[in-house]
Amino acid sequence: MHPRSLLFVALASAGLTLGLAAAQTPAPAPVPAAAKPAALSDALPIPDAPAPKVSKAWLLMDAATGQVLAGENVDVQVEPASITKVMTSYVIAAEMAAGKIKGNDPVMMTEHAWREGGAGTDGSYSGFEVNKTAPLVEMEKGMVVQSGNDAAIALAEHVAGSEQAFAQLMNAYAKKIGLQHSHFVNPHGLTAAGHFTTAHDLALLGRALIRDFPEAYSYNKIKEFTVGPITQPNRNLLLWRDASVDGIKTGHTSSAGYCLMASAKRGDQRLISVVMGDSSENQRAVDSQALLNWGFRFYETHRLYEAGKTLESLKLWKGSADTVKVGVSQPLLVSTPRGKYDQLKASMDLPKSLQAPIAKGQRIGSVKVMLNGKQVAQAPLVALEAVEEGGFFKRLWDDLMMWWQG
């Protein structure tokens, strides 16, 4: 394919518009969120993100786009501690969606789960009685809210038969959702050889849970949970400090330090922060809050193009129609510094010549969005309709015209 810069983004009263040289169908303007007058502060440079003073790695991500807004050591392998249980939650939700388990399944708190993760251990526990069952959803809340290691083991045994077999599922799903630098050997996160992840992978995991299984994610905002006579609070202090925070998970071991993956939604914008290896339970909350506040203050998320909307009608040879409509199959979103929306520049890479037949959803090219020379978003362009081959005389005529023109 030969790239053609056909699409330009310019400041207009309605927001981002498409100016196509030789375009036949202009793309619709995205949500005109940037039509407001520029503030004086928009011209100022963005200050550096408030990096935690003590941490092994940290990151702030825009949940809608997956863009990393700031971070340090984001791909350095670290111990995830109990944030591991977010991966466990993802596997359980995925297996439930596949019909392999149900929310009302009776889950046994086995003696193994109780001895390895119960009240007699140094780690967090849920309090479910040994050799008795509880509904799967209740056991999962004991794992998510109370960070129960015993509940995580019991759930792993119920889903896969053993912790080892469940870890294989964890790694398979991790690969499926794009975690490139992670490996799990248990469902709870206690220190073990070969059990590691990265801040970037954890943010991607949190994003995937929010996107794919919102009901399972909703358990993370529960502030306290009771099992029998024992009521325990959620260890995520931000749930009490910031009403926009609805997750995600804390973690702590002596070797991992204090860890927190948090997420907050303000308006239509959601951010995910990850702080690994902080100095205390309170400090991880303070550092995470600072990152979230910084992100919401200095960045905004824009929906540039809607799925299924025509961005261009391309000339088509030898088809039952003379053109084919192309667009994006998923909404194209981008995160930008506040006040920089009008500086976005978009371009399409399209084939020089296109011939029928064309299948609906067939990839035709791509669109990329740049800001100050840096790519901030990219998406494939696909055919929005199927176009069959034309009749014999149509194909013959187009053969002649193609020869004549080139």
Catalytic residue set: 82, 85, 147
Tell me the chain's radius of gyration from C-alpha atoms: 25
> Is residue 271 within 8 Å of 60, Cβ to Cβ?
yes
Q: Are the C-beta atoms of 385 and 360 separated by less than 8 Å? A: yes
Rounded Cα distance, 261 and 60, in Å: 10
Helices 136-144, 84-97: crossing angle, 10 deg rounding? 160
Contact 390, 320 (CB under 8 A): yes
End-to-end, the C-alpha distance of the chain in Å comes to 16
Q: Is the peptide bond preceding residue 357 cis, with omega within 30 degrees of 0?
A: yes
d(CA 264, CA 297): 13
Compute the distance between CA of residue 37 and CA of residue 46 in angstroms, rounded to an integer.
19
Which one-letter amino acid corresponds to residue 287? D
